[in-house]
Structure 1
Amino acid sequence: MDEKYFAKKIEAKWQKKWAESGAFEVEISDEKPKFYQLEMLPYPSGNLHMGHVRNYAVGDAVAWYKRLKGFNVLHPIGWDSFGQPAEDAAVKRGVNPRQWTEDNINVMRGQLERLGLSYDWRRQMYAHRKEYYKFDQWFFIKMFEMGLAYKKMTQVNWCENDKATLSNEQASGGICWRCGEPVTKKDLEQWFFRTTAYADQLIDDMEKIESGWPQHVLKRQQDWIGRSNGAYVDFGITLVDQNDTIDLDKALKTAEGEFDYDKLEDVARRIEEGRIAITRLNRAAEIGRIAGGRTHVEASIIVGAVSRAGGTSDGGEIVGGSARLDHLGWAEHKQRVKSHEDALIHYAIASDIWLESAAFEAKYGRSDIHGIEAYVHKDPDDDRYVIKRFGYDWAFQTTPQFFLDRIAVFNALFPEVPYELIGFTHDGKQNLQFVFRQKKLEGTIPAEEEIDDLFLKFYSASVIDVLPSGDKTYENDLYLISDIAPRNVLKDNAGNIRVFDAITLLNTNAHDYHKFALREARINKIKVFTTRIDTIYGANAVVVAAEHPIIAAERNSFADDVLAKIDDIIAENLKPKERDEEIEKDGIDTGLKAVNPFNGEELPVWVGNYVMMDYGTGAVMSVPAHDERDFEFAKKFGMPILTVISAEPENKPVENEEKEVQEKETYGINDEYGRSVRDVLADSTKENDPGGIRGLVRGDRRSSDSEYVVSGPAARTSASHNASEIAFTDHGFLINSGRWSGKTSDDAKREMAEYACENGFGEAATTFRLRDWGVSRQRYWGAPIPMIYCPDCGTVPVKFEDLPVELPDNAPITGTGESPLAKVPEFYETSCPSCEGPARRETDTMDTFVDSSWYFFRYTDNQNEVLPFDPDTAAYWTPVDQYIGGDDHAVMHLIYTRFWTKVMRDIGLVKFNEPVKRLLTQGMVVGETFYDDSTGKKIYHAPDTVTVERDEKGRITSVKAADGKELKFAVERMSKSKGNGVDPDEMVDVYGADAARLFVLFAAPVDNELVWHEAGIEGAVRFLQRVWRFVHKWKDALGNGAVSGDVSTPSPAAKKLRQKTHQTINRIDQSLDTLQFNTPVAALMELANDLYDMKAEPETASPDEVAAVREALTSLILMLTPFAPHISEEMFAAIIGNENGILANDARFPAYDEEAAKADEIEIAVQVNGKLRSRIFASPDADNAELERMAKDDAKVREHTDGKDVVKVIVVPGRLVNIVVKG
């Protein structure tokens, strides 16, 4: 051991010894408990910064501490080496991204090795190498098979500066997470991971990690996922005019005119988004995707399809067609429904559009129906086709309202049927479809007799009267037929009405193709999500986002000022904002009206800038009395405010419950007393017909088998009714709320959601702010997405045995935002894995957060060529015991990796839910900056060009530039451009790695910002030198390992040092276990001071003093090891007298001796009426009575207690005595 401390020499020596001996290489072992220490992997930008140093120094301190505590420590490192900077370098410098990345990794690995970090370098992973991204692709295909990866056209976040798409998390606040530039919107077809499928788990499983994760990180994740428990409520609206027809026939075909299944999938996604609906599908796989679930859809849907066509045969004029019955849901349902195909089609056709005696043939997949000696003609005088046979005309009703009315009648007549008729589609000519939905999805297959009963009752409800031959008039007194333009109508499984103009099946080359002509949906309601359904009686409007579908659908009906305001709001929404940023409320009344289903009141539909389309349904009910945003909105625009929640229950009983609206299907007829149509008609006169209902009914024809209840609006209260200037947002008791008045908010919320569900206009629901993760990137330097597009087979994943799909080296990287891979024919031209025909490969690459979502599992088994990792090997090492990184990843990486782990659990690779037990988020390293902003822009000055004056505490008092000009100063994140960047290599060269590590661990609590001061690292060097000198002084006296002489009766000095040693051991052990690093360093400095203060000399020290020094110094070195491992190894080897050091000798963290740590006397604070008056010294064993006596007898205390009454004495053993007096 040299007399002087030479950091470079020592650090090089021990780094070489560690590398040669494989000191940090570990394998599975039953002899030690495992500990997995991990820091967030670096992006190979080319150079480390001090933020890296702090992060890795913290992680290495934990790894060393756990090794010393006897753990088998896995401490790996790798490279997050895909990403945009490599492409930027290719554009700016003309270098290959792969070579640029590899060069940077080599540089940064050298920097990490110089810091002496204890990594198992054998386990490195490189995200950009095919051995790793092969399994990115493996996971992608698995998720595709599980229904968790899908593609859709969507409006994406686009950074024009980076020419890249961004996930919602990466565009938080409208700012690009990487470059800080504003984010815009762009329509692109993108691949998504269905993170929302795990939204509940992501929230619920926080209970498993809340003791080990920072609360602020969990809170940010909770807010980002944004689970809200509430209810959906449908507010019916009045339609204004017709929408244009959109012909998608061409859009669904390839350039060669063949049907394109990929384009069908796009249509299917539009269905899922609630824009259009398709019910005529052929392949089971397509049906599953259209339905929107891996296993089943939200409701059991039966779809029947009927098509007619005219023709001639030898037997005379005939009419033929095809029909199909299918179940959009569980396979078990499909099989049962299939067996009833003949019956249902027969009932529908025979009663609606066909001859009762028609020859009929139905087969699964294709059914033909033939009418014998029949012909069809269009009556020019009405809206019906008439089928003529044997002297009778059969009426085929083409007015769509006819079929809509049938829905109500059928469901009213047969409420006990487990399926409800929810819609018809037909084109006003020859094609008809009808749809049933299971009323409640209970997970059981409906009984066969239930379906039989359904069909029979449908037949009886839908029969059309036979007309006498030649009679050209038609009336049906069961139905009210309104004057509405023909349209093809269907309700989807979300209850939305959709429009079809034609659906036709073509059969070509043994492949089933489909031709669609679809019309955009007409919206007849606005679905609102609310967490406070108990306040619905206080709703004064429905407020929708400017991008809501109802706004686009009804745009042609809006006044010019409404359109202008809507466009202004949309433009404003595109500007960068923080996710929860408060904005001044703005909006406009659209002129549309919505009906509150609870009280029948007609409400205005507003567009409001505070309603976001990407949250909930993009529509809210405005309840200003009980919501702060709604209150602000209502006050600004003079809207009525009605209080419906009170902090205290009303004393008066609830009256007139019989007047409560019973929500059932109606014909839009209102009666304020809630009576049935029959009752109102019975006594209707001009004076008592407030709803004017007689004029809406043809005579008094109505069904004797059904009764409809109608209602009118409740009385409103104007804004002046509520004098409050602030919304009451707490829960309480309902008032002005009909039958629910007097109930608590909690009870009312439950009951009102149930009521909405029972009456068909709502349901209890949970919504999330979290959106699915968009993973498509139009970049080169990322993992290629392993999907292939075949004109015959659709979207097909690459076969597992063909992975990886490798990145070509010849892709042109231009930085224009177009996918470079789309310009490499030899990459995208391929063959279909299924049919082997010509196909095209996906040219987008994956978001680089994919790479970092599972990398720590790969560390456990990074040579596996078959699986991402061996499940048994991972089961030993994972989950990660301690993860360390910046909290800027709280809602990106840390959510994605939790999602990914749950997916891996469902695949069967792991058996737990959470990837990380404990998380530590270290603060940033910041530095002083000096700048002049007199020109309006900050001009930074380098530290070596300014004169800084400081006070006695080191605080800056004045900064002047070289020309004497006064400058401003701040503390900011380190950056070269700001002049406050620090090169870690330079620090290691000047001060050594141990000193740099020691300083970043000591300078501030690890979760706080660390303000860099070079004077601080100089102080760390001085401390290490001080310990080094003491060891060098004593090494010969301690080196032989033996102490001669009697040590059974230690001197007071030796006893005091041993006491301090064990107090320090306990203090540091507890601190490191709770990830506190600055206080242990302070404790080590105190122990070093005590060693010097003992004044013992190696040559003259007594045996007990030598023993005390050996124990104290050995303990100090071992406890210093996590902070400064090189010098610790060297000093330990000197003390024990060999060159093998700490690791080679399997040394352990010093054991704490509680008895040795006990002090002869302890200091007790004494207070009088809570104010410190004195301190006393007592035996650690003194009881409360003895401490009270000593405190009362203390002279300083008596100055404040003599002559006063002692009310009570509070004793905190070992710490405090508080005497309470009066007088």
Structure 2
Amino acid sequence: MSDPLYPFDDIEKTVQNRWKSDKAFSTRADRTKPKYYCLEMFPYPSGRIHMGHVRNYSIGDAIARYKRMRGYNVLHPMGWDAFGLPAENAAILRGIHPAEWTESNIAHMKEQLQRLGLSYDWDREVATCSPSYYRWNQWFFLKLLEKGLAYRKEALLNWCDSCATVLANEQVEDGRCWRCGSQVILRTMNQWFLRITDYARDLMAGLSSLEGWPERVRTMQANWISPSTGAEITFEVDPLSLDERAAPLRLKVFTTRADTLFGVTFVTIAPEHPEMDLLLEGSPQEKQARNFIEETLRKRTKENREEPEKEGVFTGRMVRHPLTGEKIPLWIGNFVVASYGTGVVMGVPAHDQRDFEFARKYGLPIKKVIAPNGEIQGGADQAMTEDGTLFASERFDGMASETARREITKELESRKLGQPRETFRLRDWGISRQRYWGTPIPVIHCPHCGIVPVPEEDLPVLLPRDVHFSGKGGSPLGDHPSFSSVPCPACKETARRETDTMDTFIDSSWYFLRFAGGAPEGAAPFVPEDLSYWLPVDQYIGGVEHAILHLLYSRFFTRVLYDLGLSPVQEPFSTLLTQGMVLKDGAKMSKSKGNVVDPDHLIAQYGADTVRLFTLFSAPPDKDLSWDDKAVEGAYRFLGRLYGRVNALLEEFPQANNDSPGKELTSEATALRSKIHETIVRVTTDLDSHAQLNTAIAALMELLNALGSYQALSGEPDAVRGPLLREGYLTLLTLLSPFAPHIAHHLGERLGIDRIDALNWPVADPKALVKETVSFVLQVNGKLRTTVTLSPGSSQDEVEREARKDEKVLRALEGQTVIKRIFVPGKLLNLVVRPSS
């Protein structure tokens, strides 16, 4: 590399050492000052930061630095989402313990972030794999268990027989195990769940208060929660024998269209429904049905995002219509999922398109019971799904759909065969993971006492370090005798500790609380007084890929803790910014695409300030950023010019002074001072919006050009020139410091300012914003002909009179008649002309 345009390496190291020695970014709750909590989503310690990290953290750092200069007490923390599957994969592939791999990665990534000069309060750093952190995961779990919000039930999981282990969805590749390539099956196992559905209504209602969130994120969450109002209807399964002593088997169906109940011609049940064994036992269709179930569940393990072809098989069982008593066939359908709704749907092919296609495929009856506009119509090639008027529906004939839904539900309720119900697409949160590198679930399974919570005084349940990773046989915790075999806390008999660990979304669902009010070890998860000061997070920044699960789980956790008296707020994040991706060659950067740009290499070549400035300038924060090598060099040259011009100023005026420019300013000096204070207004406005960081930097580049042009002028009096240039460069550096803090700090020192980022944010001088003259554009038929300099309040006639002194204007008007004048005060006059007759 050629000699650098300025000594960024020495500058950045020196400035960072100064910040460190000053503890410049340490924070405490100071109720005498307004607070501002700025937070970027913390990273998984994969080993290296990428350009997406750089962009995310540069956005947050610019906002945090700006708010400090505006007088806010700013909390800007960082930590590590440190549990998770990649560490176990590394343990298997590299023969290194997950803890060692994680700790090494954290150390390296922390060094990279510090090299960027990010203004984090590292005193508040957390790593979720630390026992001092995950003990509180366990403590929260016990509180949820006590409140009835944590429970255990059977659920389907991906299972590899060869490896004898459960696989996460991301470990299943085209229906096969990522390790050994064996076919993956779905197996029913006991799992721990959190009742997030108990909060579905509150989570849905709370979205309306999140005015600082992008509309598309709120819509995504609303669609995920997806409330539906309807009826739960009971269909009784017809017995296979005459044994009247057997308790009848009842299947519940949820529907939003109770008005179509008399059009039901079949009922479909999910292949994995918990009552399936009872339904199929003794059925003449048992063998065919079980083969269909096995094949359907096998196909579900494949990563196929497309809607599968609708397939089904008859169970050999019939169910009874709850109002007519008619026998209706019970089918198994691959499109029904046990975890959604009740896992059973009523088939109304005349009035539901999916049911229509299924009925056509298998020759099932299609019975119309709703007439559009009250007119009964003949056959059709598709379902009629709109509301209408009922017919062939006994005493409900002639009712409008809306009325019939209400009246049919009342009739079902009177017979104890149905009831009104609101349901949600949202499912309970399954938190069990059959892995080692996660928070141990703090319960003990006793053969005498059942499930026994670990006493709080025994927390944390520590992960043992002496485990072996083979990639076979599931989590090594099950094979660790001193971990898995323990005395029951209640009866003291030998019992088995839970060997599942928690979903890592638990870790990230409350880390912002720990940052805000982290308590001394062993005392509490956080200090309530500090939470009441810092919460909610004022600005949260992260990728839109976390728009649903992470944000939804964080909102759920905050509401639960609010109900437990542990959180002062119900919503954790006031304002959300979802930054765009960093693209190269039209695609997201990834190793597999070979289009990754290494931040370390860029910092070594251009400096941290250049890398930060480029990522902030090249696109609005919420839009995708397309990589451009020339734009990186452009940001670098801008900083190099700034460095050179400040040094030139100091050579010309070596004595720093704070004198104001003389009262008698030349027109050039007046214009420059106006530009300086206009820039203050522009940058302040853009930073306040948070979505216009790029245009704020553009304004600074314009100001540097204006300062350079004035600096090159000769004949300006020194009494004006020196103070005005100093004011201009000092303003530029102050406004630049949130974006490129190192060079701003260094050049600020050269101009006599000890810590430029400790200055108050500049305020524009109203007098400097009042322009004595402005440039009017003169157009003829919309084409620029000249500009004239006049007072801002000049009239249309004055502008035209002055413009007609210009030869280009006179030539354009020769032989023409002005038929219209378009005048914009202070800006433009357009003369609309046509040839004279």
TM range (shorter): 0.7 to 0.9
Larger mean CA deviation between 908-917 and 196-205 belongs to 196-205
Distance 1:170 1:1212 in 2: 64
Q: Does 1:1031 align with 2:646?
A: yes
Report the alpha carbon displacement of residue 6 of structure 1 after superposing the two structures with TM.
0.5
Partner of residue 1094 from structure 1, selected from 710, 717, 723 = 710
Question: What is the identity, as a one-letter code, of the residue corresponding to 1:22?
Answer: K
Distance 1:1198 1:239 in 2: 98
Q: Deviations over 1:44-75 (max 9, x none)?
A: 22222222211211111111111121111111
Q: Structure 1 stretches of 5 or more lacking a match? A: 242-483, 490-496, 498-522, 651-716, 929-970
Distance 2:812 2:407 in 1: 65
1:492-511 matches, cutoff 5 A: 497=248
Q: Secondary structure of 2:632's match? A: helix
Summarize the Cα distance change of 1:1211–1:906 in structure 2 as closer, same or farther, 3 Å threshold: farther
Q: Does 1:1006 align with 2:621?
A: yes
Partner of residue 485 from structure 1, selected from 229, 243, 259 = 243
Question: What is the identity, as a one-letter code, of the residue corresponding to 2:476?
Answer: P
Q: Answer yes or no: is the 8 Å Cα contact 1:874–1:910 preserved in 2.
A: yes
Distance 1:787 1:613 in 2: 27
Partner of residue 747 from structure 2, selected from 1121, 1127, 1131 = 1131
Q: Does 1:780 align with 2:538?
A: no
2:528 match: 871
Q: Does 1:585 align with 2:310?
A: yes
Q: Does 1:557 align with 2:557?
A: no
Q: Does 1:990 align with 2:646?
A: no
Report the alpha carbon displacement of residue 875 of structure 1 after superposing the two structures with TM.
1.2
1:410-425 matches, cutoff 5 A: none
2:701 match: 1085
Distance 1:195 1:597 in 2: 32
2:637 match: 1022
Q: Deviations over 1:885-909 (max 9, x none)?
A: 2222223322221111112112211
Summarize the Cα distance change of 1:974–1:237 in structure 2 as closer, same or farther, 3 Å threshold: same
Report the alpha carbon displacement of residue 1078 of structure 1 after superposing the two structures with TM.
1.9
Summarize the Cα distance change of 1:852–1:171 in structure 2 as closer, same or farther, 3 Å threshold: farther
Q: Please tell me the root mean square deviation across aligned C-alpha atoms, in Å.
A: 4.1
Distance 1:729 1:1085 in 2: 59
Summarize the Cα distance change of 1:86–1:609 in structure 2 as closer, same or farther, 3 Å threshold: closer
Q: Deviations over 1:896-939 (max 9, x none)?
A: 211111121122111211111112222222334xxxxxxxxxxx
Q: Deviations over 1:210-237 (max 9, x none)?
A: x222233222222323322221122344
Larger mean CA deviation between 137-146 and 816-825 belongs to 816-825
Q: Does 1:220 align with 2:220?
A: yes
Summarize the Cα distance change of 1:182–1:1008 in structure 2 as closer, same or farther, 3 Å threshold: farther
Question: What is the identity, as a one-letter code, of the residue corresponding to 1:576?
Answer: E
Distance 1:22 1:1081 in 2: 28
1:128 match: 129
Partner of residue 1141 from structure 1, selected from 739, 746, 755 = 755
Summarize the Cα distance change of 1:28–1:176 in structure 2 as closer, same or farther, 3 Å threshold: farther
2:499 match: 843
Report the alpha carbon displacement of residue 179 of structure 1 after superposing the two structures with TM.
14
Question: What is the identity, as a one-letter code, of the residue corresponding to 2:304?
Answer: K
Q: Deviations over 1:328-369 (max 9, x none)?
A: xxxxxxxxxxxxxxxxxxxxxxxxxxxxxxxxxxxxxxxxxx
Question: What is the identity, as a one-letter code, of the residue corresponding to 2:239?
Answer: L
Q: Does 1:833 align with 2:489?
A: yes
Distance 2:743 2:621 in 1: 23
Distance 1:1045 1:878 in 2: 45
Q: Does 1:1115 align with 2:771?
A: no
Summarize the Cα distance change of 1:91–1:28 in structure 2 as closer, same or farther, 3 Å threshold: same
2:806 match: none
Partner of residue 518 from structure 2, selected from 853, 859, 862 = 862
Q: Deviations over 1:544-587 (max 9, x none)?
A: 33334565433242446666555544443343233xx4233333
Report the alpha carbon displacement of residue 1096 of structure 1 after superposing the two structures with TM.
4.7
Summarize the Cα distance change of 1:1187–1:193 in structure 2 as closer, same or farther, 3 Å threshold: farther
2:673 match: 1058
Report the alpha carbon displacement of residue 7 of structure 1 after superposing the two structures with TM.
0.4
Q: Does 1:759 align with 2:415?
A: yes
Question: What is the identity, as a one-letter code, of the residue corresponding to 2:742?
Answer: H
2:468 match: 812
Summarize the Cα distance change of 1:828–1:1059 in structure 2 as closer, same or farther, 3 Å threshold: same
Distance 2:183 2:571 in 1: 34
Q: Secondary structure of 1:767's match? A: strand
Summarize the Cα distance change of 1:1156–1:761 in structure 2 as closer, same or farther, 3 Å threshold: farther
Distance 2:360 2:799 in 1: 65
1:462 match: none
Q: Secondary structure of 2:538's match? A: strand
2:565 match: 908
Q: Secondary structure of 1:554's match? A: helix
Report the alpha carbon displacement of residue 1161 of structure 1 after superposing the two structures with TM.
4.2
Q: Answer yes or no: is the 8 Å Cα contact 1:199–1:768 preserved in 2.
A: yes
Q: Secondary structure of 2:49's match? A: coil
Summarize the Cα distance change of 1:1094–1:557 in structure 2 as closer, same or farther, 3 Å threshold: same
Distance 1:1211 1:641 in 2: 70
Q: Answer yes or no: is the 8 Å Cα contact 1:778–1:820 preserved in 2.
A: no
The TM-score with structure 2 as length reference comes to: 0.87
1:885 match: 542
Q: Answer yes or no: is the 8 Å Cα contact 1:58–1:1001 preserved in 2.
A: yes
Q: Answer yes or no: is the 8 Å Cα contact 1:1061–1:1157 preserved in 2.
A: no
1:322 match: none
Report the alpha carbon displacement of residue 15 of structure 1 after superposing the two structures with TM.
0.2
Report the alpha carbon displacement of residue 168 of structure 1 after superposing the two structures with TM.
8.1
Summarize the Cα distance change of 1:1161–1:902 in structure 2 as closer, same or farther, 3 Å threshold: same
1:576 match: 303
The TM-score with structure 1 as length reference comes to: 0.61
Q: Does 1:534 align with 2:259?
A: yes
Q: Secondary structure of 2:577's match? A: strand
Distance 1:1108 1:1082 in 2: 21
1:113 match: 114
Give the helix-richer structure, 1 or 2: 2
Report the alpha carbon displacement of residue 170 of structure 1 after superposing the two structures with TM.
10
Summarize the Cα distance change of 1:178–1:756 in structure 2 as closer, same or farther, 3 Å threshold: farther
Report the alpha carbon displacement of residue 732 of structure 1 after superposing the two structures with TM.
5.3
Report the alpha carbon displacement of residue 833 of structure 1 after superposing the two structures with TM.
2.5
Report the alpha carbon displacement of residue 998 of structure 1 after superposing the two structures with TM.
0.9
Distance 1:1019 1:747 in 2: 68
Partner of residue 620 from structure 1, selected from 345, 352, 357 = 345
Report the alpha carbon displacement of residue 99 of structure 1 after superposing the two structures with TM.
2.4
Report the alpha carbon displacement of residue 991 of structure 1 after superposing the two structures with TM.
0.9
Report the alpha carbon displacement of residue 1195 of structure 1 after superposing the two structures with TM.
10
Q: Secondary structure of 1:557's match? A: coil
Larger mean CA deviation between 83-92 and 761-770 belongs to 83-92
Count of paired positions: 818
Distance 1:181 1:1092 in 2: 68
Q: Answer yes or no: is the 8 Å Cα contact 2:517–2:528 preserved in 1.
A: no
Q: Deviations over 1:306-336 (max 9, x none)?
A: xxxxxxxxxxxxxxxxxxxxxxxxxxxxxxx
Distance 1:168 1:1213 in 2: 64
Q: Answer yes or no: is the 8 Å Cα contact 1:170–1:176 preserved in 2.
A: yes
Structure number, greater radius of gyration: 1
Q: Answer yes or no: is the 8 Å Cα contact 1:124–1:862 preserved in 2.
A: no
Distance 1:781 1:1173 in 2: 69
Partner of residue 1041 from structure 1, selected from 631, 638, 657 = 657
2:103 match: 102
1:234 match: 234
Distance 2:397 2:813 in 1: 65
Q: Secondary structure of 1:850's match? A: helix
Q: Deviations over 1:760-784 (max 9, x none)?
A: 2211112223222222222222222
Q: Deviations over 1:518-568 (max 9, x none)?
A: xxxxx2x43221122233344443233333456543324244666655554
